[in-house]
Structure 1
């Protein structure tokens, strides 16, 4: 049996649940994206374009990068697995705790040695300068999630560029997962997308999953710093990894105006609302800047909150974390209010039981 390692598994319930376990845009899928999927239904009888020409053109325009640097796939996870299989790293470094697929993909590609740079709670789960002393030319690949999942803490652009420079000098491929970057208030202070074509051995991972709430359609992509790397990734695995419905949805999303900006403002307002509510109830948070909140609880919250039909993400299966750490998505104000009201009842009950 495959072990459940992600949030968003609403299918195990036979009724409506409040899903705070999956970090999707609380505004939902844009209406024009939905219409693009519906309006192109007559095109779904044919095979998809194996080269994703129209989608690649739109991504190229959106990010102002060359088309030859873009690889598309069946979600960001597909790109992660494609990359490791294409590049065949023998030794890799992962900044952890983080997204489990990095290690799974490395293992699937027979990576012989997987090391972890551990983010420490006493340092606020922030990456430190000692990582520069750790990297040497024995490594072939490195993974950095920015902002990190599950903490929601980003690394500033100058630090990432410095890291990219060292990796290039040591011959290390650096995959930077920017799938949550669009949710950051000041994205330009963290994303290195504007510099990608000036770098070496860099792969920036992106997805439509989170920002456009397209998790079920499965569409991700990466932008490489050079054509050789892009060719290797594009040449790996089966040719029809992007379905036509996903492609049409992605094209419509790339042509939207103002949606990302609207999302940023909405997420910030509601993230701050959740942070205030958690603080008032006595829970420790760590200064997240993405569309999810990472926090600590001494008492179990999964089962008590399920009585309110609320799903949250336990972080017990993340490296160095345990059952006391949780992650919740920023949802709509109505849902966030219901969550905090329910959590207040759970907290009060836990305190009464503790105090006898």
Structure 2
């Protein structure tokens, strides 16, 4: 049986420029010990001073380092959200509290929870439900509570055409704000483990001391140069992914008894009115998706990423059979 994987959120578009890399040389060369070349490229692309960014072995490492570095105990995360925030902060004996989201974001209730905590972590848009916290309202809270640490993970926001407008990266001169961005998802390079932290210069200096040297291999540094070399290619990739997402949404709306949640990311969350284990049944057909059980959302809920048209058509076909 041929299997189609919709469970991870990596872009389905392969960058053919990778084929021109000279792997023989790249695996022999020592990397730049201080990531100077990578920082230069990222700084230029995002128009952020080099001192306000840090390159790590994926956002996983950067979340870990932040959890170790921040000397505050009460942490607020969303429920549901990406599991690593809770895992790493609890690993350093922090108390992790959860803000349950049902329907639209209740900003009054959210601010009350912000007041009670010292560190606020947001995946924006959120994984798995795509809820998005508006930039203007977040800036208001960040400035109103300067003694609280705000960590905003924008890994999925880069899929959206309004990324530059909605991103908080340009606001990271503010001492209590850190923004995370993974290269894995949008650029489809999960195997190289590359993430960026944008934050105050003092925080980046401190974290750099914790992380040490040679964090980014030579191959990673070359791939960063390639993927950030053309804004036109990035916009083209966004438009291709968006067309496939719109195709999926049109198809899903034709199916019976589905609650559909989409947003700025490249994944879609659906909930069936039928009491059916969607992930289990789809796996029998060679389709791998994320079960809602992983997020305490129930077996009749799944999250899947947008893939190629061939794979998307197959998923719609099998979902149609299950929901008839």
How does the TM-score come out when normalised to structure 1? 0.85
Asked whether the 8 Å contact 2:11–2:186 carries over to 1, the reply is yes
Is the 1:174–1:201 Cα contact (8 Å) retained in structure 2? yes
Written as runs of structure 1 = structure 2, the 5 A alignment for 1:291-310 is 291-297=266-272, 298=274, 299-310=276-287
Residue 306 (structure 2) aligned to one of 314, 330, 334: 330
Are 1:262 and 2:236 matched, yes or no? yes
Residue 10 (structure 2) aligns with:
24
Match status 1:286 vs 2:268: no
Aligned equivalents of 1:131 and 1:302: distance in 2?
32
Structure 1 residue matching 2:187: 3-state secondary structure: coil
The change in CA–CA distance for 1:330 and 1:97 in structure 2 (over 3 A counts) is: same
Q: Give the whole-Å Cα distance in 2 for the aligned partners of 1:101 and 1:127.
A: 24
- Deviation, structure 1 residue 326: 1.1
Q: 2:207 aligns with which of 233, 242, 246?
A: 233
Preserved CA contact (<8 Å) 1:211 1:260: no
| 1:93-132 → structure 2 map (5 Å cutoff) | 93-111=76-94, 113-120=95-102, 123-124=103-104, 126=105, 128-132=107-111
Query: 2:76 & 2:96 partners in 1: Cα distance?
Result: 6
CA apart distance, 1:68: 0.7
Q: What is the root-mean-square deviation in Å for CA atoms of aligned residues? A: 1.8
How far, CA to CA, are the matches of 1:327 and 1:246 in structure 2? 29
**1:344 and 2:323 equivalent?**
no
Q: Which of 208, 214, 217 is 2:183 aligned to?
A: 208
CA distance in 1: counterparts of 2:213 and 2:91, whole angstroms = 19
How far does residue 39 in structure 1 lie from its aligned partner after superposition? 1.8
**TM-aligned CA distance change 1:238 to 1:34, over 3 Å:** farther
Query: Aligned pair count?
Result: 321
Q: CA shift at 1:160, angstroms? A: 1.8
Counterpart check, 1:155 vs 2:133: yes
User: Alpha-carbon deviation of 1:304?
Assistant: 1.6
Match of 1:133 in 2: 112
- The alpha carbon displacement at 1:211 in A equals 0.9
- Structure 1 residue 40 displacement after superposition: 5.0
1:82 to partner: Cα distance: 1.1
The more displaced of 253-262 and 176-185 is 253-262
CA displacement 1:297-329 (0-9 Å, x = unmatched): 2311122211221101112122x5222321010
Residue 185 in 1 paired to residue 161 in 2? yes
Range 38-47 or range 62-71, more displaced: 38-47
Which deviates more from structure 2 when the two are superposed, residues 41-50 or residues 83-92?
Answer: 41-50
- 2:109 and 2:7 map into 1 onto residues whose CA distance is 32
1:98-156: per-residue Cα shift (whole Å, max 9, x none)?
Answer: 10000011012221x11111111xx24x35332112222x6331101111111123222
State the secondary structure of the residue aligned to 2:303.
Answer: strand
TM-score w.r.t. the length of structure 2 is 0.93
Show CA shifts across 1:204-262 (max 9, x none): 101110111001111111110x1111112222245333222112111211112312211
The CA distance in 2 between the partners of 1:313 and 1:89, in whole Å, is 33
Report the CA distance between 1:271 and its aligned residue: 1.3
Instruction: Determine helix, strand or coil for the equivalent of 1:242.
Output: coil
Q: CA deviation at 1:334?
A: 1.5
**How far apart are the structure 2 equivalents of 1:96 and 1:48?**
39
Structure 1 segments of 4 or more deviating over 6 A? none
**1:61 CA drift (Å):** 0.2
Q: Distance in 2 between matches of 1:236 and 1:267?
A: 37
